[in-house]
A and B are shown apart, each in its own frame.
Chain A
């Protein structure tokens, strides 16, 4: 349902001597996602997971390569157009909106202000208090709350393809299980092709396929069990560069 071909994305970086050079962040990704399956994408910090999902959503434009969704080339389509085709994305760091209520945001996502519809979405995502609708999606929400808001707006889209970028960060340890079940239920009941970016074992176990991204490339694809040995090898620490170069490095983790 989603085919990524030879995708390359780079940014310009300022060098110490003041000259600019291109830095490739996605370095030739090829992958085909199958309709209705559950995928987990994992990999070290900085490996390009967020960048790859933003390329799919249209937030970044690739240097080269193609993204084909349900037979349609996405290159040249705006974020809004992709959203309307059925792609939804939960941001790793969700935006906060001064003055905007959760009701308004969820209403935009669901395309309706109908109270009954909004209540049904809340129940669907396990937010049992309807009072939550009147909260401002501003700076007062906790890290966990804003992630739940983000998740709810994604599910409210009834997407064909849902991408969740680290939905579990900031969430209480004991609510990760229910979150995994929720996304699996959406996958089964609505046939939602689901991509979850996570380091959490619960998500990796739930996935039909685990994709390991390293250095802007797909390093491995497989079941949880056959990916596990590879995961033990990778360093999830993003300070690696600093530690490896120094002889007397402290660990900043």
Chain B
């Protein structure tokens, strides 16, 4: 059964107020809580570390899959390896996410390892939110991994969000793009206090005409630290762009290391990176529209992470 805290976590990570439409798999404290499959989307347990295999039939469109994970048990470090097989020409939305509620001084954590195999012409939108809360002082850790393999003309859009409360996060994103395929990754992370977040990204443009864009936005409050490492390697006529922006507040620190490598003369790779405080001109503008200083700061951050 899901209690009030579980429901609150589900709301935060998956925008779920009720049992979702379409296929779902809800995991609580390392166990299956509930699952539903549809005519086109199958979910079965796999042999790898109690994960699941999700298979989307070719041509499936306008369907969604929710796979939230919630944790509220001390000393539990839950690891799952999930695989997604997305059939040709299908178009689905996948909502993942992990919510931790920590009530004690014992650590809790989750590592979701997600592999995506996109067949020709398939499209997915993948939304992953991470959130931790609760009165306990136990360390909350989230170490997500995504590995994406795109066949010809496949397309993936990934929205990766860490909302708050996570003490330590180490993310790894890897992608390999086939001919004509494309991906857009948007990562937004806010840290505070003594939190630490690292994001490692490796994108390989393998196929002709492939395109990848990775946008990272960080807000670093308190004395927290966020680091971003991103690389795009091009082996074909292709396009890649990295954009990393970090707003430092208080005493936060940041390392941003973008890397571009071209192994093909027709590859076009670009990056933009900026680290800094909120621009004074932005604050002045919002204050001249009647906002107080603090309101102006919060509206700027809200827009930046929108």
Are B285 and A95 in contact, CB atoms less than 8 angstroms apart?
yes
Smallest beta-carbon distance B228→chain A, Å: 16
Decide: B289 and A100 in contact? CB cutoff 8 A: no
Quick check: A98 and B304 within 8 Å, CB to CB? yes
B303 at the binding interface (Cβ < 8 Å): yes
Contact between A153 and B289, CB atoms less than 8 A apart: yes
Please give the distance in Å from B186's CB to the nearest CB on chain A: 10
Of A57, A79, A84, A97, chain B has the most CB atoms within 10 Å of the CB of A79
Evaluate contact between A59 and B290: CB separation under 8 angstroms: no
Q: Which of B82-90, B141-149, B250-258, B292-300 contacts A (4 or more CB under 8 A)?
A: B292-300
Contact partner of A108 among B284, B289, B293, B304, CB < 8 A?
A: B289
10 contacts between A and B (CB under 8 A): A57-B288, A59-B284, A79-B284, A80-B292, A83-B289, A83-B290, A97-B300, A98-B304, A99-B217, A99-B305
Q: In the complex, which residue of chain A has the Cβ closest to the Cβ of B287? A: A79
Contacts A100-B303, A104-B303 given; indicate if A157 touches B289 (C-beta within 8 A): yes
Which chain B residues have a beta carbon within 8 Å of chain A's beta carbons? Answer: 217, 245, 279, 281-282, 284-293, 299-300, 303-306
- From residue 59 to 103 of chain A, which have CB atoms closer than 8 A to chain B? 59, 78-80, 82-84, 88-89, 91, 93-95, 97-101
Using CB atoms and an 8 Å cutoff, list the residues of chain A in contact with chain B: 57, 59, 78-80, 82-84, 88-89, 91, 93-95, 97-101, 104-105, 108-109, 111, 153, 157
Q: How far is the CB of A143 from chain B (nearest CB, A)?
A: 15
CB-based contact B285/A91 at 8 Å: yes
Minimum CB–CB distance for A224 against chain B, Å:
29
Top 8 A-B pairs ranked by shortest CB distance?
A100-B303, A95-B281, A79-B287, A83-B290, A95-B285, A99-B303, A99-B304, A95-B282
Is B288 a contact partner of A59 (Cβ separation < 8 A)?
A: yes
**Residue contact B287 to A78, C-beta cutoff 8 Å:** yes
How far apart are the CA atoms of A99 and B306 in the complex, in Å?
6
Residues of B within 8 A of A94 (CB): 285
Tell me the total A-B contact number using a CB cutoff of 8 A.
65
**Is A108 within 8 A of B299, CB to CB?**
yes
Q: Is the interface of B mostly helix, strand, loop or mixed?
A: helix
Interface centre among B245, B282, B286, B293 (most CB of A within 10 A): B286
Nearest CB in chain B: distance from A34 CB, A: 23
Residues of chain B lying within 8 A (CB to CB) of residue A153: 289
A130–B292 alpha-carbon span in the complex (Å): 29
State whether A83 and B306 are in contact (beta carbons under 8 Å apart), knowing that A91-B281, A104-B299 are contacts in the complex. no
Partner of B288, one of A83, A93, A98: A83
What are the residues of chain A within 8 A of B217 when measuring CB–CB? 98-99
- Min CB–CB distance A160 → chain B (angstroms): 13
Of the candidates A89, A98, A111, which one forms a contact with B303 in the assembled complex, judged by CB atoms under 8 Å apart?
A98
CB atoms of A83 and B287 under 8 A apart = yes
User: A95 to B279, alpha carbons, bound, how many Å?
Assistant: 9
Cα distance A16–B285 in the bound complex, in angstroms: 34
C-alpha spacing A88/B284, complex, angstroms: 12
- Which residues from chain A contact B306 at a C-beta distance below 8 Å? 99-101
A78 to B290, CA, bound (A): 10
> In the assembly, what is the distance between CA of A83 and CA of B293, in Å?
13
A202 CB to nearest chain B CB (Å): 26
B245 contacts across to A, CB distance below 8 A: 98
Q: Indicate if the CB atoms of A88 and B287 lie closer than 8 Å.
A: no
B279 & A157 in contact (Cβ 8 Å cutoff): no
**Beyond A98-B304, A99-B304, A100-B303, is A84–B290 a contact (Cβ under 8 Å)?**
yes
* Chain A nearest Cβ from B246, distance in angstroms: 11
Please give the distance in Å from A88's CB to the nearest CB on chain B.
7
Q: A161 to B284, alpha carbons, bound, how many Å?
A: 18
User: Which residues of chain B are near A78, meaning CB under 8 Å?
Assistant: 287
Docked complex Cα distance between A159 and B86 (Å): 56
Give chain B nearest CB distance to A123 CB in angstroms.
20
Cα–Cα distance between A84 and B292 once the two chains are bound (Å): 10
Residues of A contacting B299 in the complex (Cβ-Cβ under 8 angstroms): 100, 104, 108
Chain A residues, CB < 8 A from B293: 80
Roughly how many angstroms separate A111 CA and B281 CA in the complex, as a whole number?
20
* B286 surroundings in chain A (CB, below 8 A): 108
CB distance from A58 to the nearest CB of B (A): 8
Specify which of A97, A101, A105, A111 is in contact with B290 (CB 8 Å cutoff). Answer: A111
CB distance from B217 to the nearest CB of A (A): 7
CB of A152 to closest CB in B, whole Å = 11
The minimal Cβ–Cβ distance linking B302 to chain A, given in whole angstroms, is: 8
**C-alpha gap A93/B281 in the complex (Å):** 9
Determine the distance from Cα of A165 to Cα of B83 in the docked complex, in whole angstroms.
57
Determine the distance from Cα of A89 to Cα of B289 in the docked complex, in whole angstroms: 9
A89:B288 contact, CB within 8 angstroms = yes
Q: Are A109 and B303 in contact (CB under 8 A)?
A: no
CB distance from B277 to the nearest CB of A (A): 14
Chain A CB within 10 A, most for which of B303, B305, B306: B303
Pick from B288, B291, B303, B305 the residue with the most CB of A within 10 Å.
B288
Residue of A nearest to B279 (CB): A95
Chain B residue nearest to A88 in the complex (CB): B288
In whole angstroms, what is the CA distance A127 to B281 when docked? 24
